[in-house]
Amino acid sequence: QVKFVESGGGLVQPGGSLRLSCLAHLSMFSIYHLGWYRQVPGGKQRELVAHISSGGSTDYVESVKGRFTISRDNAKNTVYLQMNSLKPEDTAVYYCNRFYTPWDWGQGTQVTVSS
C-alpha cells in the first residue's frame, strides 16, 4: 500500500522560506515521477506545483518558477520542496504524490504565509 507522509509546513512571513519533505512508503521509489501539489482553503482541486522525473528532470508551474526547487533522495525515499521568497498566495495545504496519476493522498502539510 502506497503512503505519503508530508512535513515541514508552518507559518512564515512573506519573503520567508520553508523546506517541505515527503517520505514515501513505496516500493521502487526511484522509478516514479513524483510531484508536489497544493490545495487552497475551500479549493476543489489540487494544483500541481512542481514535479521531478525518475532521472531528475524538473518542471514548475509558472507562479513558482525561480522561487521553488523540487529534489529527491532515492536512498531515503524522500522528495523535497524548497520554497523561497514565499508569498501570501502560496498559502495552501501541500501534498506529494505520483505525477499525473496520483495514488491515495496523504494528510498534507499546511503552509501559511502571512505577516
* Rounded percentage of the chain residues whose pLDDT exceeds 70: 100
* Rounded percentage of the chain residues whose pLDDT exceeds 90: 91
Grid look-up 505577516 returns: 115
Write down the pLDDT at residue 1.
83
- At residue 12 the predicted structure's pLDDT band, cuts being 50, 70 and 90, is very high
Write down the pLDDT at residue 79.
98
Q: Is 8 left (phi over 0), alpha (psi -120 to 50) or beta?
A: left
Give how far Cα 103 sits from Cα of 9, 40, 69, Å: 22, 20, 23
Write down the pLDDT at residue 105.
95
Measured at the CA of 47, the angle between CA 88 and CA 104, to 5 degrees, comes to 125
Mean pLDDT of the chain: 96
Q: What is the pLDDT of residues 78-92, one digit of tens each?
A: 999 999 999 999 999
Mean pLDDT, range 4-14, rounded to an integer: 98
Q: What is the pLDDT of residues 104-113, one digit of tens each?
A: 999 999 999 9
The residue among 74, 1, 70 whose CA lies nearest residue 31 is 74
Mean pLDDT, range 31-38, rounded to an integer: 96
